[in-house]
Structure 1
């Protein structure tokens, strides 16, 4: 499930890309397929091991150009082990809502991005996230869970205060918002609830088949109930 629009965030051979807080690696794999050099960065060792396994499988199956490089690095988003300006592009997908010192993490992102480089920052959208918090205390009080709800204006203001030039934005994954509302209503760990299971099966079917009807529906619904908001920012050349 890709949140970033690669038409607005172009990557290709020769680009050095950081997937900050890569998790399961969904964006890292897409960047690798497009031929860029990708560094998947996270503090979760188990996630990084699975990402490395997938990188190896992609290399073996020829799913990425031979000249592209892929690596995993463990570390802290507040103190990354990279030199200033190390990357041409940075993806920060669904990470800042987890970080207590989000502005410090944004400053680190700014530091490791080269002048003129682009970052794609995604967080949960305000309305769908606010409903999740209202339906379930467990959703936002579990260890490692979401600790804040952003409005787009707040996110853009913090990124601008960090030094970024704020560019376009969009919303994504409207069809996923009702699934999380259901989960919050029946219990976030209750995957066997009939309604939650049925909706999850529909989402899997939709991701595999991508029928035109649901693609059109999601495009129409994204501005209203898109589960994620994506903001594209640039580090000024003079930085």
Structure 2
């Protein structure tokens, strides 16, 4: 690469485009990221309210998920903390993420999404370590741990893994809003475009935690998301699983 090329924007890795695509079969289409409960109970029912909701989710649970995704990517790729095997690091990350997810309903949803993502990843980017992660004797890895592992298997680095996680944190509820509230999809995607710099900033901050000890990873919380998730989990009629 010459000096002129170094000053040009680098192309996005195709694997990142595929992984961040809302049509990737990771199971996210069945979830609303808390939007369904927020729409019914907290008045998130128009574009302005949706944008505020997405900003809040990105800054709290989105930032935590992105940091854990980056750390899992580093652990899977063998560039994480020394003195522990990749499997041990991923198990520690999984336990620490569970500790940061107070809602039993959200823990269940996260593991369900993790299993689905791992299933897709093992088919699209086969890797023996993904098979090991899928065979672990538990209910499946949490979604950020699975996302980091799949990103590494796809050849992506921690920056790209964190970006995929931050993007997913807003894409899931945004696309759910179109289905649930009948919002204009063009306008909703304009909201996502306006959030682009915030998403990039959250991802960059998360990537800096790739080598952080699991216990010291961010623990920002959105308590109302956890409370509403518990309410939502017992509804008899709902469009989304979470």
Bigger proportion of residues as strand: 1
- Give 1 or 2: higher helix fraction: 2
Please report the TM-score for the alignment, with normalisation by the length of structure 1: 0.24
